[in-house]
Amino acid sequence: MKPALLTLLLATAAAAGSLTFRQSAFAPNPEGWTAWSARPETAPRTYVDTVRYRGEAGSLAISGNSNSAEHGGWERTLPGVEPGAWYRLTAYYRATGVHAETWQVVARLDWRQTDGRRAGQPDYAYRATREGDWTRLELEAPAPEKADAATIQLYLSNAPQGVVWWDDLALEAIPAPAPRKAVLAAINLRPQSTRSAAESVRQFIETIEQAVRQKTDVILLPEGITVVGTGKSYADVAEPVPGPTTARLGEVARKRGSYIVAGIYEREGQAVYNTAVLIDRTGALAGKYRKVYLPREEVERGLTPGNEYPVFRTDFGSVGMMICYDVFYPDPAHALAAQGAEVILMPIWGGDQTLGKARAIENRIFLATSGYDYPTYVMDPDGEVLSLAQQQGQAAITTIDLNRRYTHPHLGDMRGRRMKEQRVDVKSPLPGLP
C-alpha cells in the first residue's frame, strides 16, 4: 500500500473512531515501522525482502543473524483505538530455520496510551492456520481501559539460524462477540448392588430424568457407568462402541436434544479400553476418547491405554474429554486446550481436587466433572466452582459463556499468552534415567 493512501486510511479511521489498517507490498525503509530489541546485543537483523513475499513484492523480514540471544523484530503503532472496542489482528508469516514456531515467532498487540505507556497487557495471536508455505495468525481482543493506540509487534526469538517473513497485515475494528451460552449438567450418582451393567445404566438414565428438568447442551455421567455397583470385572462388562450402552444413551440424547458424555468399557479385539463416549443431540455416536493414563490398578486388571487426545466440534463449542487418572498429569488437558477445546468433560472415579482445579486454571478452560469419590461440579477457567452437586441423585447445572474472556489483572489473557510462551520444544528426560 502506498504511504499516502495508508495515511489517508488511518486518518479516516481515526476520525470515524473505527481503526482500519491493512498493509502488504512493503518497500525498503517502510514508513511507520521501526526495529526493536530489548538490548543492542540481542537485536536481530531486520530488512524488507523483495524476493520472498505472499502477494505483492516486499515483506518484513527478521533474521536471527547467528545470535542465540536474538530477540526482537518490527513494530508499528496505530492511533484511533477506542477503549472497550474489539479488534482483529491478522498476520501471515513464513519461517525457516526456526525450531519451535509456537513461541519463537510472535505477533501480538501491545496496547498503548497517548503518552506511549502500556495500557493493560499485550494480547497474543495464537490461533494459526497453515495456508501453503504461509501461516495465518489471528487475534480478536478488546482494547483495555485507557488504550488510545495499538502497537503491532512482529518478533523472532532465540533463533540464530532462523528467518521469518511477515506479510499481509491487518488490524480492524470488529463487533464485540455476542455471548455464546451453553448449559452443562453433571450427574452425581453411584449405583449400589445392581448386579448388571444394564441396571446401573438404567439408574443413571432415571436420574437424568429426575434431576435434569431443563433444556441442556451437555449431560455428563461418571467413569465406568457399566461397571459401578455390578461387582463385575472390566472385561465382563466390556462392549463394542457403538454398542448397547451407546444405543440406550442415544435414545435419551435424542429425546432431550442434548449431548451426553459417559464413561464405559470398550472391547475391540483382544483389548479392553476405559472409554468416554460422546453422543450427539440426534442420538448418534459423535466420538470417543480412550483413557491414556491408566493407573497400575487398571493395568493389572487387564485394560489397554489409549494414545491420543481428540477434540470434538459440537454445535455450541469445542470439547475434549479426560478420564479420572488423566487429571494427575498436565499433558492431557494441555493437549486438548492446544487443539482448541473450550470445555473439558471429565468422568472420574476419584482423584486429587487440587489438580483438577490446576488443570482448569493453567489451561484457562472450563472443567466439568462427574464422580463417585470426587466432587461433581462445573468449574470456570479461574478455578471457581459454578455449580456443585453434593447429594446422590442431584445434578450440577449451570450456564457458561464460551465467549467470555477470563483475564488475570496483572498477566492479561493467559489463554493466549500460555499458548505462545509454553516451551513444548524442551523435552523432559526419561523418568529414572540419568
Q: In the 3-class helix/strand/coil scheme, how is 297-343 assigned residue by residue?
A: HHHHCCCCCCCCCCEEECCCCEEEECCHHHHHCHHHHHHHHHCCCCE
- With a pLDDT cut of 90, the percent of the chain lying above it is 92
Domains in the chain, CATH or no CATH each: 3-174 (2.60.120.260), 181-407 (3.60.110.10)
CB 282 within 8 A of CB 307: no
pTM of structure: 0.92
3-state secondary structure of 358: helix
Quick one: pLDDT at residue 432? Answer: 86
- What is the signed CA dihedral for 124, 409, 177, 258, rounded to 10 degrees? 100
Residue with cell 523484530: 73
The tens digit of pLDDT for each residue in 183-215 reads 999 999 999 999 999 999 999 999 999 999 999
Average pLDDT over residues 86-106: 97
CB 76 within 8 A of CB 152: yes
The tens digit of pLDDT for each residue in 387-423 reads 999 999 999 999 999 999 999 989 999 999 999 999 9
pLDDT band at 119 (very low <50, low <70, confident <90, very high): very high
Quick one: pLDDT at residue 342? Answer: 98
Percentages (nearest 5) of helix, strand, coil residues in the chain? 20, 35, 40
Quick one: pLDDT at residue 7? Answer: 39
> Residue 13: is its pLDDT beyond 60?
no
The tens digit of pLDDT for each residue in 315-337 reads 999 999 999 999 999 999 999 99
Joined together, the cell numbers standing for residue 387 give 455449580
Cα–Cα distance for residue pair 365/39, rounded to 1 Å: 36
Cα–Cα distance for residue pair 230/208, rounded to 1 Å: 20
CB 348 within 8 A of CB 261: no
